[in-house]
Amino acid sequence: MTNEFAAKTAKGWPVLIGGLIAFVPIIAMFVYAVRKSDGMPHAPAGLVALGVLAVFLFVVNVILMTGLTIIQPNTARVVVFFGSYHGTVKTSGFWWINPLAKKPSVSLRTNNRVTPTIKVNDVRGNPIEIAAVVVWRVENAARASFDVADFSSFVDTQCESALRHLASVYPYDTGVENEMSLRGSTDEVSKTLAAELQERVAKAGVTIEETRLSHLAYAAEIAGAMLRRQQADAVVSARFRIVEGAVGMVESALEHLEKGGKVKLDDERRAAMVSNLMVVLCGDHGVQPVVNAGTLYNG
């Protein structure tokens, strides 16, 4: 990969002022040679040489002044002299750079890339639709210019490729505790995508600043079935929490009843009370009380 370094430059204003001042004696020299030779059938060789020298110096001065270059903020100029890389200029301002060198401009501004929505299978084989927003910028202008054919197109292609790979590594959703998923672990997934994408585009001199999933959904052909599954999973999870809480409440109730020794329950009465309390606590609807005029043993 191309190693970037700073190009040799000079301040532009001194060169501009010096070039303009240099035009004065050059033009005066040419005018003097023309006036002295005016009316002569054959101009002296000295005057001809003086005129030719003035023209030569004028052309050289113009060529030197074509090296004056304005560099805008967040813009770099890559200096290429006769096919060789001679450095990069990133400092904004008015500079003089070798006038015989090519100086293509490379933008260092931050770019947003919104990937198209693609259909891909997650790690469990479920077809999903996914898209992402990628924030990137050129950090190494030399690599962006020489190591890839078109760094913008290269980034676009790598964004889609990395997104496809990411979707195939994680499940869309999961009910397993501490297992990462595309829907439930957005921040971690975004960091993973950024790290993988950075590794892919480093050869183009590009830095990935941020990535975020902008679209995530099941494919249309399974969306209905997956919605029902999610609803069922939610119901099961809610029931589990309800039962877990009810068990704790029943244990606490029995402990308080027996703590003072006023109420003594044998195994059968304990089981009946546990059953009744669980029905009351876990039921979907209000429980209708039943008055038992007898005892547990004779009804």
Tokens read off for 21: 């001042």
* pLDDT score for 84: 94
Tokens read off for 187: 């921040």
Q: Could you report the per-residue pLDDT of 243-283, keeping only the tens digit for each? A: 777 777 777 777 776 676 666 666 666 677 677 666 666 66
**Contact by Cβ (8 Å): 220, 213:** no
**Contact by Cβ (8 Å): 110, 210:** no
Q: Could you report the per-residue pLDDT of 193-250, keeping only the tens digit for each? A: 999 999 999 999 999 999 999 999 888 776 566 666 666 666 677 777 777 777 777 7
The domains of the chain, with CATH numbers, are 10-106 (no CATH), 111-218 (3.30.479.30), 226-282 (no CATH)
The rounded distance, in Å, linking the Cα atoms of 79 and 103 is 5
pTM of the model as a whole: 0.70
* pLDDT score for 248: 76
Report the sign of the C-alpha dihedral through residues 244, 249, 254, 255, in that order.
Answer: positive
Interstrand relation of 111-114 and 127-138 (parallel, antiparallel or unpaired): antiparallel
Does pLDDT of 12 surpass 70? yes
Q: Could you report the per-residue pLDDT of 66-119, keeping only the tens digit for each? A: 999 999 999 999 999 999 999 999 999 999 999 999 999 999 999 999 999 999
The rounded distance, in Å, linking the Cα atoms of 156 and 187 is 22
* pLDDT score for 265: 66
The rounded distance, in Å, linking the Cα atoms of 186 and 256 is 45
